[in-house]
């Protein structure tokens, strides 16, 4: 009985060590920091005549990797319409 418990304990500890090692590279740092992972979001981009188009924007860090217009997501606001977003929100594509 004691031998079975000892074997189960050694096996469990070995499994935990292996899982910990697989989660880190040899330096102990995360292998893919979140700021390096690509991400995608959508954004409406409007011109000076209030014609707006939704885009799917793929970013990696603060760099745009790809920008694709979303089909059917094109519209025009009235001539009096003013974009309520602040300048940074309107102009920055990737954070």
Give 66-84 pLDDT, tens digit per residue.
999 998 887 888 989 898 9
pTM of the model: 0.58
SS3 readout for the chain: CHHHHHHHHHHHHHHHHHHHHHHCCCCCCCCCCHHHCEEEEEEEEECCCCEEEEEEEEEECCEEEEEEEEEEEEEECCCCCCCCCCHHHHHCCCC
- Domain ranges in the chain are 1-31, 33-78+85-95
What is the reported pLDDT for 36? Answer: 74
Torsion of CA 21, 27, 28, 31, to 10 degrees: -80
Q: Which of 3-7, 55-59, 87-91 has the highest mean pLDDT?
A: 55-59
């Amino acid at each position: 009985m004691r031998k079975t418990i000892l074997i189960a304990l050694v096996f469990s500890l070995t499994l935990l060590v292996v899982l910990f090692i697989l989660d880190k590279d040899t330096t102990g740092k995360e292998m893919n920091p979140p700021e390096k992972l690509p991400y995608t979001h959508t954004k409406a981009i409007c011109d000076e005549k209030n014609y707006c188009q939704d885009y799917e924007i793929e970013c990696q860090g603060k760099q745009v990797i790809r920008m694709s217009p979303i089909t059917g997501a094109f519209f025009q606001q009235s001539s009096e319409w003013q974009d309520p977003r602040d300048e940074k929100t309107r102009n920055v594509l990737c954070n």
